[in-house]
Amino acid sequence: MQVYSDYRELPKDAQGTALVIGNFDGVHRGHAKVIARGRDIATSLVAPLGVMAFEPHPREFFAPDAPTFRLTMPETRARLLERNGVDIAYILDFDKALATMEAAEFVREVLVAGLGVAHVVVGYDFCFGKARKGDTALLREMGNELGFGVTVIDPVRAGESDEDIFSSTRIRDALREGRPDRAAKLLGHWWAIEGEVKKGDQIGRTMGYPTVNVDLGHYLHPKFGIYAVKVEVLNGPHAGAYDGAASMGWQPTFKKDEPLFESFLMDFDGDLYGAELAVSLIAYLRPEEKFENMEDLRAAIERDVEMASAILSNLRSNPADVPWAEGGAS
Cβ contact 245:226 at 8 Å: yes
Same domain, 142 and 238: no
CATH number at residue 307: 2.40.30.30
Same domain, 81 and 7: yes
Number of domains in the chain: 2
Domain membership flag for residue 170:
no
Long-range contacts from 163-170, C-beta under 8 angstroms, 24+ separation: 165/30, 166/28, 166/29, 166/30, 166/31, 166/33, 167/28, 167/30, 168/23, 168/25, 168/26, 168/28, 168/71
Q: Which domain holds residue 81?
A: 2-153
Domain membership flag for residue 158:
no
pLDDT in tens, the chain (330 residues): 999 999 999 999 999 999 999 999 999 999 999 999 999 999 999 999 999 999 999 999 999 999 999 999 999 999 999 999 999 999 999 999 999 999 999 999 999 999 999 999 999 889 999 999 999 999 999 999 999 999 999 887 766 555 667 889 999 999 999 999 999 999 989 999 999 998 776 676 666 788 999 999 899 999 999 999 999 999 999 999 999 999 999 887 777 778 999 999 999 988 899 999 999 999 999 999 988 888 999 999 999 999 999 999 988 766 666 665 443 333
Same domain, 56 and 118: yes
Domain membership flag for residue 173:
no
Domain membership flag for residue 177:
no
CATH number at residue 85: 3.40.50.620
pTM of the model: 0.88
Same domain, 143 and 219: no
Same domain, 132 and 207: no
Same domain, 310 and 261: yes
Distance between CA atoms of 213 and 260, rounded to whole angstroms? 7
Cβ contact 70:27 at 8 Å: no
